[in-house]
Amino acid sequence: MAMLEPSTEQPQTVLRAAPSAHRRRWHTLRKNRALVGGGSIVFVILFAAVFANELAPYSPNAQNYSAILQGITWQHWLGTDNLGRDTLARVLMGARTSMEVTLGAALVGLVIGVPVGIISGFYRGFLDDWLIMRIVDAIQSFPFLILALVLAAMLGPGIRNAMIAIGIGYIPVFVRTVRGQMIAESEKEYVLAARMTGARDWRIMFLHIFPNITTPLIVQVTLAAAGGIVAEASLSYLGLGAQPPTASWGSMLQVAQGYLNSAPLLAIVPGVCLVIAVLGFNLLGDGIQKLWDPKRTD
């Protein structure tokens, strides 16, 4: 506890209290290992995704037939694939594909899920009980990956459609989160106060309540992103996500499965990236949750 820390300075003025409170907050932040670890991983992955072109030693699609299926070498730190493409360059590009689809999908889910959740939780009643929530139930009854697979199949393969398919899969979770928070907040005094001042419904919903429920939503988005990364890789593995020659961790694994005997490294590198990325988002979600509501985590 920060309060028990031995203080090197004499407690002098009331003004001293400000930096100490700040330090205490900083201390809680640093002690939250999930937040620090997850946050760092997510930062590194986003950095790799944004600067993939600058960081990659080769072009991710440049083929070199004199260096196919290589292991770790000085020229190719993480080896090469069946077409002699540099694996390091391709996993960096894969990070971009993964983040693009996952964040795009989150956007799709948020744009639809948040307003629906807000309206549903604010007005409740018949519309909420018998229509909106039952639609959410119906979407949720599809296994996430099957929904993404079927939608991607109907819409056609490709990154954009994978984004839409995964984003639709996110809607139920986002609607439920926002709706639940909305119901809890609607009873609070500041909402009553806003009502008394004659504020319109939309103003109360979007300007008064919504800013107070963003933290649980951010937690859900972060955790959903972890699922989205796996979904993107799965769709690309099946050939419905990123199309060749675009690099994706999933499609790299699909290629690798054909060379397990001669080039096992090819199956390991994209998988490790995948695990680290999913772990990063899971940890970050847990960390934010812990920060926001320490009671719910032990």
Partner 1 sequence: MAYVAKRVLTTIPVLFILSVMVFSLIHLIPGDPAQVILGQDATPAALAALRAKLGLNENILAQYWNWLGHVVVGNLGNSLLDGESVSHLIFQRLPVTLELAIGTFIIALLIAFPLGILAAVYRGRWLDGTALFTATIGISVPPFWLGILLLLLFTVKIHLFPSSGYVPIWQNPGRNLSVMILPMLSTGFREAAVLMRMLRSTILEVLHEDYVRTAKAKGLNGWAIIVHHALRNALIPVMTMGGLQLAGLLGGLVITETIFSLPGFGSLLVQSVFSRDYTTVQGAALVAALAVILVNLIVDVLYGVVDPRIRLGKKAS
Using rule CB under 8 A, residue 282 touches partner 1: yes
Query: Minimum distance from CB of 71 to partner 1 (Å)?
Result: 14
Separation between Cα atoms, residue 29 and residue 291, nearest integer Å = 8
Tokens of 242: 């990123």
* H, E, C per residue of 220-268: HHHHHHHHHHHHHHHHHHHCCCCCCCCCCHHHHHHHHHHHCCCCCHHHH
Using rule CB under 8 A, residue 3 touches partner 1: no
| Identity of the residue, 99 or 267, whose beta carbon is nearer to partner 1 in the bound complex | 267
Pick one of 176, 224, 237, 285: the residue that binds partner 1 (CB under 8 A): 237
Using rule CB under 8 A, residue 83 touches partner 1: no
Using rule CB under 8 A, residue 127 touches partner 1: no
Size of the site for partner 1 (CB under 8 A): 46
Closest C-alpha among 138, 126, 108 to residue 231: 108
Query: Minimum distance from CB of 100 to partner 1 (Å)?
Result: 18
> In this structure, how many other beta carbons lie within 10 angstroms of the beta carbon of residue 8?
5
Closest C-alpha among 50, 105, 111 to residue 232: 105
Using rule CB under 8 A, residue 116 touches partner 1: no
Q: Which residues pair with 80 in a beta bridge?
A: 86
Q: 3-class SS at 53?
A: helix
Using rule CB under 8 A, residue 256 touches partner 1: yes
Q: Which residues pair with 99 in a beta bridge?
A: none
Pick one of 48, 108, 114, 253: the residue that binds partner 1 (CB under 8 A): 253
Using rule CB under 8 A, residue 171 touches partner 1: no
Query: Minimum distance from CB of 19 to partner 1 (Å)?
Result: 33
Query: Minimum distance from CB of 172 to partner 1 (Å)?
Result: 11
Using rule CB under 8 A, residue 275 touches partner 1: yes
Cβ(237)–Cβ(253) under 8 Å? Answer: yes
| Identity of the residue, 46 or 238, whose beta carbon is nearer to partner 1 in the bound complex | 238
Q: Which residues pair with 248 in a beta bridge?
A: none
| Identity of the residue, 56 or 151, whose beta carbon is nearer to partner 1 in the bound complex | 151
Separation between Cα atoms, residue 56 and residue 88, nearest integer Å = 7
Q: Which one of the spans 21-29, 81-89, 100-108, 268-276 is the region binding partner 1 (CB under 8 A)?
A: 268-276
Tokens of 254: 């699909």
Pick one of 68, 103, 145, 184: the residue that binds partner 1 (CB under 8 A): 145
Using rule CB under 8 A, residue 12 touches partner 1: no
